[in-house]
Structure 1
Amino acid sequence: MSLPDIVIVGGGMAGASLGAELAAHGRVLVLEMERQAGYHATGRSVAFWEETYGGPAVQPLTTASGPMLAAPDPAFHDGSFLSPRRTLHIGRASDEAARDALIADFAGRVDLQPVDPADYVPGLRPDWTLGVMEASCRDIDVAALHQAWLRLLRRRGGAMRLGARLISARREGHGWRIETGDGPLDCGLIVNAAGAWADDVAQACGVAPVGITPLRRTVAQLRVPSLPSPDLPLVMDLGGGFYFKPEGRDRVWLTPHDEVPSPPCDAAPEEMAVAQAVARFEAVVDWPVAGIEHRWAGLRSFAPDRAPVYGFDPDMPGFFWFAGQGGFGIQTAPAAAQLAASLIRGAAPPDPLAAIDAATYDPARFRSSIARLVL
């Protein structure tokens, strides 16, 4: 089936992966407003693949992406994008309900085992008595994955234009006239993969926003000379107050799991959030912190129901949403790109995705709720 020319707005993991998938079927141009693709959320990931992360609506996409990340086609990438990690979800006695809900939410979908957390984290403070092991968790080589898709995009005849911001777009006939900082261009389909800027891009195209909100997440790299091992699991708070993982010898990546509403921007860390993260870390383990070596922040963008938004806009022909991936866009990228490409082409998704209900992610779910409020 021949496709109209497609312009994808956003060159991060979302735009690169979907662009590479679509370039096998039509002419694709990716517009990236920065001079470096993946500068924002993609380049600031804590880089893990965890099946429970993002909740039950996201888990099918994460699970389906696992084999593609673990054993990609050699023509795509030589070797695995994943390496061993594991997740240990921990809590105090007051987190018993959260522990039980986690296990219940993923029963029959993800292998979660109650454990004594002290068996897995030397130096854990004694009040952290609850533990759930998610052994399937892996680290992701985010940079390698992003570059692999950019190479595939080019190999299939697609192109990326850096430093090209979409200023506005309007429907003309059966297609679009797009105004950019580099001048106008025409296409038949716009794909909105603009991350934190997704609603702004929609409005610039005359499309109603769906309520995608950027939330700032702060991360700090700590120097921890007494770190028992770089192979310890990712440690995640059942109460949602932090997670941390070793990052090489004597280094830990730590976040206070903050979600602060922000305008779309080049996010910067807040010192209060960093201090809060360190205080929470020191309340979990007895490993002295020798210093904070690096700190950064990224924007995780969520729709109102915190599920991704994948599909054609119901009110604007030729406009496709591929946004709202929150903090799980990298771990779901292979499955999400294949699912979105099949929706755009009007084709059946490949077998690993056949059981995924694409209606869960359809942007029409927001339009119908607005209509009900009006009526």
Structure 2
Amino acid sequence: MTPRTPGPGFRPRAAVAMSQDAAAAVLDPSSLDAFRQICDLAPPPVLDDLSTPRARSLLADVDLLVTGWGCPVLDEEVLRAAPRLRAVVHTAGSVRGHVTEACWERGIEVSSAAAANALPVAEYTIAMILLAGKRVLERARGFRVSRTRDNWLRTARSTGNYRSTVGILSASLIGRRVIELLRPHDIEILLHDPYVSAADAAELGVEHVGLPELFARCDTVSVHTPLLPTTRGLVGRSLIDAMPAGAMLINTSRGAVVDQAALTDAVLAGRIRAVLDVTDPEALPADHPLWDCENALITPHLAGSEGNEWRRLADLALAETARWASGSGFVHPVRRERLAFLA
């Protein structure tokens, strides 16, 4: 008889719970085949409504749920229908939308692919930092208009990345990856994170500074703070006004971490520049002035995993499922006590 406890020979009974679109994007046929090698996976369609008779029938016997974007909330009622459920493997980042207090009270183990999703966000951020330093976007616009080369020997000394100063707001998974990717460059890195000590910052190879100093000293500030009640509007008018003339603010976290009105005023005035993959609201109204502002680049929340990067999420979830089934536990667990600091 197949054991029902993680360890040698254990094949968990599993089901996929997420939106149909998310499943089609993240779990391609080869990924599904790989999951079937290590668990008894419920056949499609995926569970996007956990109240249906079919969903309740499947939930009654599952050990593990593979979740993703659009997963229904795993509340007390759902858990009563899933008495054997012991683990949730999430193929995206934040689990706040579906993992409830009832899950933690049950002792359900939770894993997230946040570490995998952090990589493309960090890559986007690095690209934008380096492009901003060379002022590529605005110079390309000028070149398109003039269609003649300017005198490159008269380039302003504020242009370039050599010994520029980049500030990282929060040593999150993404923030730490950005720091790592910046190391090969001749760039000074400052960090503000109230939960990181000066000694920890030194181990990361960065200088730990206060929040006002971060904004006052940096040529570029990159925001990686999760949106929590304590961080809503954290980047307010006083911080934005303290940024040096021509500085760049990059936001790939959540729009509401930044005071949108204050940022708009500074960018429209030409004081600073902005690269925004997130805004508040998202998307901005069609008549918002930032759409037509040459000092702002707005992208449609594309920094996270997309296209072939979805496979990385599936691969991490697959590896986590295999480890959990073997009794080895998760490499990327979500800890209940860390929820207050996570997105």
What band does the TM-score fall into relative to the shorter chain?
under 0.3
| TM-score normalised over the length of structure 2 | 0.21
TM-score normalised by the chain length of structure 1? 0.20
Larger strand share, 1 or 2: 1
Higher helix share: 2
Largest Rg, 1 or 2: 2
**Structure with more relative contact order (C-alpha pairs < 8 Å, separation 6 or more):** 1
